[in-house]
Structure 1
């Protein structure tokens, strides 16, 4: 796409022109975008690293929330990171949350998704100074599964986020191509946080009236309805058929 197209698209979702240009420049310096000159104009494209990261993220975001069958096993990770390596600890916490793990405290993390062990292994191996031991096990004679869930995740806070998402997007009816693009972008931006917030627990571990399915149906429906007009407006923007702000 043309660089001015990206700047105008960012402006449509609330960036000032200066802030949009600065964001593009930072993305180029950070290796996320690549530029090429065509006469006096510049085209921008995703770098290979950015494209791979977005593809991985999109796969998780667009598949998230579907019901699944649980066999009763947990993947448990005992993590050890030196206290002095706080940046490593933060990076690992982010990746573990993305994989749906919750913290029991004392470096113990767990998820009901035992199939994600290779993902966790890669995260630990890529983190300098981190050590971990993983187990796949069922709950024993001591403790209740409800207490495990309550200790590892704040589901009340997640519920509030789902209810806010539903409230924010249920009544939206875009009336122009730019509005479709803006709302489609904001819709995906709002939905993409849920793989971090929601551990994607099986239905038998969730509280009654869990709102994820309602939120998922809203996301899927709005996304499908808004995608074509949003894309059409963006394509017109890139070909110069939509006036761009200076």
Structure 2
């Protein structure tokens, strides 16, 4: 049992790593049973899924007297994007251009502005100056989805441009992101999880770990690693600092995930409906 994880956040992890591969829909009873493994009770699961439904990530459907929850189009797109970034094996290729998003959202829509900021950070944008955000990655699709979701087409201007100075592009990166702090977090992740990986590798080889334990360990691993989506802007190699630890962390994550996945999936399939 592991209650250090927020219920809603854990549900996102389960949808992203399991449910979306099984038709993107799950019976609430199965979800409750799966989350019980992490110490979450029925009440907190129902409250969290209801909140996710209000936010447009999932939708509910009654079949007889059972409630099923499936990902909406918005939910599927978010899971797809998150999965691409979580299971990536290398940094994205760069075409040398920067994408610039500028918004001018009125004061009476302040809450909307806060939501938009969170979304931009999640997508990997960096704040260059007040209301001006940049990224070297081609995120046009995400931007159009975001603009439509919040209905802010009238307030947003979007450019693709080349950087003409006044200094090195890496100086621009330093203004927008604290990559040293991200690197430090990668260092902590590697230290903690390489130790766990070797212990579990040994136990699994001896057949001393149950499927349920592998499920909890695997979902917890994804859950912890997923946090990097909120702080690592996924920059191209040319813009990363020397001795960047992101790639080593990704290799460790993928190896550990591959180790736990078969037994974890078996457990999930036994509970899933």
Give TM-score, length-normalised by structure 2.
0.74
Which residue of 2 is the match for residue 123 of structure 1? 146
Q: Tell me whether 1:202 sits opposite 2:236 in the alignment.
A: yes
* Inter-partner Cα distance in structure 2 for 1:83 and 1:51: 29
User: Between Structure 1 and Structure 2, whose CA radius of gyration is higher?
Assistant: 1
RMSD over aligned Cα atoms: 2.7
Task: Count how many residue pairs are aligned between Structure 1 and Structure 2.
Answer: 236
Residue deviations 1:56-90 (CA, integer Å, cap 9, x gap): 34443345462233232211222211223111111
More helix by share: 2
Q: Tell me whether 1:97 sits opposite 2:82 in the alignment.
A: no
Contact 1:74 1:110 in 2 (8 A): yes
* Inter-partner Cα distance in structure 2 for 1:27 and 1:182: 22
Q: Tell me whether 1:162 sits opposite 2:186 in the alignment.
A: yes
Q: In structure 2, do the counterparts of structure 1 residues 37 and 141 end up closer, same or farther at CA, with 3 Å as the change threshold? A: closer
Which residue of 2 is the match for residue 88 of structure 1? 112
Aligned mate of 1:178, from 212, 221, 240? 212
* Inter-partner Cα distance in structure 2 for 1:126 and 1:50: 9
Q: Tell me whether 1:73 sits opposite 2:97 in the alignment.
A: yes
Contact 1:80 1:132 in 2 (8 A): yes
Aligned mate of 1:42, from 63, 66, 70? 66
Q: In structure 2, do the counterparts of structure 1 residues 63 and 4 end up closer, same or farther at CA, with 3 Å as the change threshold? A: closer
User: C-alpha displacement at 1:171, in angstroms?
Assistant: 2.3
Unmatched 5+ residue regions in structure 2?
A: 1-25, 204-208
User: C-alpha displacement at 1:103, in angstroms?
Assistant: 0.3
Q: Tell me whether 1:190 sits opposite 2:216 in the alignment.
A: no
Q: In structure 2, do the counterparts of structure 1 residues 209 and 57 end up closer, same or farther at CA, with 3 Å as the change threshold? A: same
Aligned mate of 1:150, from 152, 166, 174? 174
* Inter-partner Cα distance in structure 2 for 1:27 and 1:99: 19
Q: In structure 2, do the counterparts of structure 1 residues 168 and 14 end up closer, same or farther at CA, with 3 Å as the change threshold? A: farther
Contact 1:101 1:111 in 2 (8 A): yes
Q: In structure 2, do the counterparts of structure 1 residues 92 and 166 end up closer, same or farther at CA, with 3 Å as the change threshold? A: same
